[in-house]
Amino acid sequence: MSSILYNTNSSLIQKFQRNESLATSSQSVRRLQREVDPVRHNVEPLGVDQPFQSESPRDSPEYLGELCCSVYPRSLHCRIEGLELGGTLEAHALIALILKSFVFSWYGTKIPTHNDEFHVLLFDLFDTFTQFIAEGQETVPWEQLIFDDFPLILSQHIDTLRRLRTLYPHSAQEHAKLYKQTCFIEDGRYPRIFVELLKGSLRGHKSQLQESFLDSLCTNVIFGRVFDSISESYYVVRLMTKVSDLLLAKKTKDTSKVRYGSVVFLLRMYRSAKVLVSSILLHAREKRAISTPTPIQDRYFSTLLLEDILILPVKAPLLYFLLKCVHRAVARVHLLKSLVSSVAYKYIHRRLLTRHVVATGINKIRELLFPNDNEMGPRTVIPTGDEFEVIKQVCADKMWNVLQLYHISGPCGITRVDVTTFVEMVCQEDKSCNKILIFRLLDCTLAYILDNPTD
């Protein structure tokens, strides 16, 4: 390597060294000022999640629009203003925060650029996908999906876990492999099939950049880190505990109104009569109560509840026999069967399958992941060992209290040991079984959307 010769006494070298020293000291002073008083010097303190600032109420159309505009460049603001509530705008707000945390945190900073083409490509990618989902879900038979297909998948899940716990009680690490074999799931199916389906939804927007980014985002982030996190058994226990708390609170609230028992009874009778009369009028006007050929009482949901969860054929065979007789009697009376189905489906369409419910669910997910609509919130510390055992025991105790308070444990022959065993069964040490269950539910939903094209 050749040596560089220069005059060390040159005034140019001394001038360069003096300027470099001044620049270094100036940067040190500015860095110290930011650490001491970050607000005064317009710098966010490290590790502090500053809430998103907006004059509009949270989750309002103006607020969500401003949130999206704060992430995307000005060239997309007109398109963002044209997004509608009811799921589309809420989904874009969630996607914008995810891109801000995982993509735009390095694009434009670590890779300095002022080119907006990449932002526009990502917006087009997810806008096309949300429109694809919105178009497909309009023709999905949600009654069949919720009361037939989902219960069947959950029934297979519970039955498989129960058999694995009986046959292999001390080999939890092998449960995932045996679970796949029992459910006939081929290796490599998940998440490969979801990435291929998402690529197919791009239609005419299949650029190499979009496909590469979609592969990385889905495999590593969404179906990797996110699904690994939500598959923890700890969240299953939290869900069962939350449901138990709600049922206990509702029963306690009803019990506190005993002194107004006659008034409450009359109100309930009035509401029941109102629902019955409206159902009869609807049935007489339309000549049929429901638009689906399968009544609600013939769906697989009843099998999941009675046979897989409560295990009535074993625990209370006489009660199971009586319920089957009632089911047969209802099935033989056409008017009664139609009324039961009409009330049930009416509740589903008015309370569950609405755009408001979808939008509220997306907003709840956004608030959970991004509490201040800025940085992603801290990851939940998953308890293990004795701490997790205490949480499971608390969950089992609350479920047992619910069964006793609603007078279910006695007629169904359920004991406290049965409840504890059920909690232990669904809380596998290996979360792979829960992850496969989520994949199967998502696979079933996307299959309906793709099999019912609107164009």
Q: DSSP states of 371-436 as a string?
A: TTSSSPPPPP----HHHHHHHHHHHHHHHHHHHHHTT-HHHHT--HHHHHHHHHHHS-SSTHHHHH
143 and 348 Cβ atoms separated by less than 8 Å: yes
Query: What's the token pair of residue 64?
Result: 């969500």
> From CA 241, how far away is CA 199, in angstroms rounded?
38
Backbone angles phi, psi at 21, to 5 degrees: -65, -40
Q: Each residue of 142-164: b (16+ CB within 10 Å) or e?
A: ebeeebbbbbbbbbbbbebbbeb
Backbone angles phi, psi at 216, to 5 degrees: -65, -45
Assign 85 to helix, strand or coil. Answer: coil
State the pLDDT at residue 215: 77
- The pLDDT tens digits of the residues spanning 316-357 come to 999 999 988 988 887 787 777 777 777 666 777 677 777 788
Of the candidate ranges 214-223, 237-246, 390-399, the one whose mean pLDDT is the lowest: 214-223
pTM above 0.85, yes or no: no
80, pLDDT greater than 70: yes
209, pLDDT greater than 70: no
Of the candidate ranges 35-49, 128-142, 160-174, 318-332, the one whose mean pLDDT is the lowest: 35-49
Query: Which of 184, 194, 174 minimizes the C-alpha distance to 153?
Result: 184
> In this prediction, what percent of the chain has a pLDDT beyond 70?
69
> From CA 133, how far away is CA 88, in angstroms rounded?
10
> From CA 344, how far away is CA 143, in angstroms rounded?
10
β-bridge partners, 22: none
State the pLDDT at residue 34: 41
180 and 436 Cβ atoms separated by less than 8 Å: yes
- The pLDDT tens digits of the residues spanning 276-320 come to 666 556 555 544 444 445 777 788 988 999 999 999 999 999 999
Rounded to whole angstroms, what are the CA distances from 418 to 197, 311, 427? 41, 10, 14
28, pLDDT greater than 90: no
DSSP per-residue codes, 262-295 = HHHHHHHHHHHHHHHHHHHHHHHHHSSS-SSSS-
Query: Which of 428, 415, 423 minimizes the C-alpha distance to 396?
Result: 423
DSSP 224: I
- The pLDDT tens digits of the residues spanning 228-258 come to 878 888 888 998 999 999 888 877 665 555 4
Rounded to whole angstroms, what are the CA distances from 215 to 192, 210, 218? 9, 9, 6
